[in-house]
Structure 1
Amino acid sequence: MTRRRRALRNLAFLSPWLIGVSVFFLYPLLSTIYFSFMRYDGFTPPTFAGLRNWRYVFGDYPFFWPALRNTLWLVAVTVTLRVIFGLGVGLLVTRLRTGAGVFRTLFYLPYLAPPVAATMAFAFLLNPGTGPADTVLGRLGLPQPGWFNDPQWSKPALTLLALWGIGDLMVIFMASLLDVPREQYEAAALDGAGAWPRFVHVTLPNIAPIVVFAVVTGVIQAMQYYTQPIVAGKVASGVVGGSGQQFEPGYPARSTLTLPQLVYHLGFQRFDTGAACVIALVMFALAMAATALLIRRRGGLLSAAD
């Protein structure tokens, strides 16, 4: 009887979490799996379609593979640079003796800008014809990239936009860096360790969990990258609003096309819910695989630092 009461009490304490996971995770996941095997447009009852949606997405849908390559590129490049840049800015601000508050505010303010407004401002700054960035580069005699109008420069431009809003990672890394025991730095200095050995053997092992957290959350955010590429493509192509204007996601030449854009395009514009669910499951599988790999490699990061 006592065991039963304990079990019921534990379930009562766990019930908010269980209800939240069931309603907001398990039910949507199972529904997505179910509709991926159905022909469903959101209006008529769903009918079983077997593997038709999967064959269509992986074989006949011309936008899937370019979007997958772009998404993986953004995950690999943007997440890596954001973590490195955020850690570097955090180290810089924590080392400053004067003006640290001013620099901290300047680096954090861009993160507070709404994504749509920040992307539109960035697109105008990088305008290849009249943007200040290319104007300065031209006066210095340097090449003037096409940025969001050039397929080769559109993803690097999105990366610059992501690095501009680095304030969130800066704050997280600053908090972790300030928690590193000072006596470990003093012991390393007494042993003759320079700045780089102190970073590798003292700083990195202490902040390794925060680095893993930053990479995992960055991968998840990059897999959901939707607002910035579609707004940048619309601004660069001249389609910024108004009824009756047609816009194909991925401008220019599908170089900014991402998997979340395909989910919206298929599910809410073409009303092909089954195909949209297939792509959503691909995103989920990729995010879960990357997260599991990064968490498993956390021990490797610590041993490498040692």
Structure 2
Amino acid sequence: MDPEAETNGTAVTEFILLGLVETEKLQSPVFVLFLFAYLLTVGGNLSILAAILVEPKLHTPMYFFLGNLSVLDIGCITVTVPSMLGRLLSHKRAVPYGACLTQLFFFHQLAGVDCFLLTAMAYDRFLAICRPLTYSVRMSHSVQWILVAVSWACALTNALIHTIALTTLNFCGPNEVNHFYCDLPQLFQLSCSSTQLNELLLFGLGFLMTGAPVVLIITSYIHVTAAVLRIRSVEGRKKAFFTCGSHLTVVCLFYGTGIFNYMRLGTEEASDKDKGVGIFNTVINPMLNPLIYSLRNPDVQGALWQVLVGRRLLN
């Protein structure tokens, strides 16, 4: 604790999240819009999970990872949006210090797993297209679970480091966060002690969490592209590019917004751009993922139809 802060008795015990809008007339439309987005995202991802479970054709490594991605999408939006909706409903914007750190920890935990899981999915496509003869051995059930477990372990380490490092900072006012959820860049700006170490950690670990996976993904897809171009069948090339295209779209959306948000520290005040990026990270990306993977995939569409209609017809 900063001695000066302790003497003045100004240590912050809660933060005020300003949210997306301050005008009362706009709060009701925002509430309805984000409630709809939340229900759509949870419903869409649960439908993908159900489709993967009921359709034997989808019991493959690619859809195993996609099912895990759906769980992460539900988690990411649940960590941020329900609490924001609760504040809009109660008109109370105060968040206890501990609750703010808890939200930050779980958000970085889930987003971190996303980083490594997208890399595992790229590795899966590389093996399926470039090493088809050894695919079943190199991507066995045990390997799939190991990749998921390592993803969770690495993300847990990253989230713990950032959360613990944040507890070393002193917050002695102001306590207004110009955002709709607690995140590192906005909290750094409110600290009355040096955040140099925290920012170095964010850049260093951010490079490991995003830089290394991006390099591995790009390397995988260079090999995949070369292999696909050697396929003589036009239909075969289209199918391979479509499967990879869905994954690449998700990768670009996820890493693009993440890098923009965390690799540009130094501004004194959070801008509206940060809120826009936050909406992409926590709402739009999780909502789009089920659509991206199922929009033109006949196997997923058939399984979804079976989940929504087929069971009812059988009864």
Larger Rg: 1
TM-score tier, shorter chain, comes to: under 0.3
Q: Name whichever structure is richer in helix by fraction.
A: 2
Give me the TM-score of the superposition, normalised by structure 2: 0.26
Give me the TM-score of the superposition, normalised by structure 1: 0.27
